[in-house]
Structure formats: C-alpha cells, structure tokens
Amino acid sequence: PSASAGPFTVVLLGDGGVGKSALASIFAGASDSMGSECELYGGEIFEQTITVDGERASVTLLDIWDSQDEDSWSKQRCLQTGDAFIIVYAITDRSSFLHASDLRVQLRREREADRTPIILVGNKSDLVRCREVSVSEARASASVFDCKFIETSAAMQHNVWPLFEGIVRQLRLRRDAR
C-alpha cells in the first residue's frame, strides 16, 4: 500500500440510543492495525488506520455528540470540527430519523461553502419487525440533501465496514478534486 493519507476526522451524530457507540466500538476493534482511543470533551475519540482500495487512510472517529451540553455552542463546535459526518438514526425510531434530517439542515447551513461528505446511516437493520422507516423513504431523503445512505446493524456487524470504507472514499474524492 502507498503512504497513508489523512488523518481524516469523522464525527458521529444522531440521537442517544441509535447505536453510535456500538458502531464506534466496531471501528475501534479493527484488527488490521493498532487503534488507539482516548477521552475528549467527555466523549471518546478513536484513531485507526484502515486500508481502502489498497491505500492506507488514517481516520480519527469522534463519538462526542451525546456528551455535549445542550447549549448550542459546544454542539455547534462539533459541527465545525469534522472532515466528514456520519448521521445515525435507528430504523426502529422514527423520531431519530426526523432528527437526522434536522442535523443535515444544520450541517449544510454551518458548512455552506464546502462539500463536506455526509453519510446517513439507518442502524439496527436487524430489528426488521420493529421497522418505522423504510429504505426507500430514507434513500429519497438522503438524495435531497446530497448524502450517501446505508443501513447497518452494529449488533450483527452488518455493513459497518462498508460504511467506514465509503466515508474514506468520499473524503478522497473530495481531496482529489481540489
């Protein structure tokens, strides 16, 4: 593999309980390198080098959203921090999906000038019987905001790596477009 790129900073956003920390711990447990983690702003930060399409990328994943004060300043700072954002909702929780839409509006407003990659993630795809948000609805909503979309199950470890690989690909496209 060629020299590593990045580090890219990726921020997890979304309601409490949707599975952000579960996704982060899968990321942290990757075996192809020595990850490291530490605490930051009351949340957690994970560093990992992953190989995507034969090229190494170093990614810093921030799981700090839920630990920010409701005062808008620290949340706003979060939205200004990342190179890319993963907005998570649970497919079993319609209100988390609606909040995910609000977050995309906020992000696009906060980061007007750049084309920051955003991936909309419908987690808990294993809980099919409790589904409250359909794939087609989520896909349509993602395309309105020019986001990628993927459904994952942290519990079943389904589609979690395609999610992180996808974000690295988007970051590279943006880097190479400069």
Residues in touch with ligand GDP (CB under 6 A)? 16-22, 66, 123-124, 126-127, 153-155
Query: How far apart are CB 66 and Mg ion at their closest, in Å?
Result: 5
- Among the candidate windows 20-28, 104-112, 125-133, 164-172, which touches Mg ion by CB under 5 A? 20-28
Task: Determine, following the binding rule CB under 5 A, whether residue 9 of this chain makes contact with Mg ion.
Answer: no
Residue 153 contact, options ligand GDP, Mg ion, none, Cβ 5-8 Å cut-off depending on partner type = ligand GDP
Q: 147 near 140, Cβ under 8 Å?
A: no
Q: Which does 116 bind (CB under 5 to 8 A by kind): ligand GDP, Mg ion, none?
A: none
Q: Give the residue with the Cβ less far from Mg ion, 45 or 57.
A: 45
3 state DSSP class of 107: helix
Q: How far is the CB of 116 from Mg ion (least distance, A)?
A: 22
Long-range contacts of 169-176 (CB under 8 A, 24+ apart): 169/52, 169/53, 170/84, 170/117, 170/119, 171/6, 171/8, 171/57, 171/83, 171/84, 171/117, 172/5, 172/55, 172/57, 174/115, 174/117, 175/5
Which of 4, 9, 21, 159 is close enough to bind Mg ion by CB under 5 A? Answer: 21
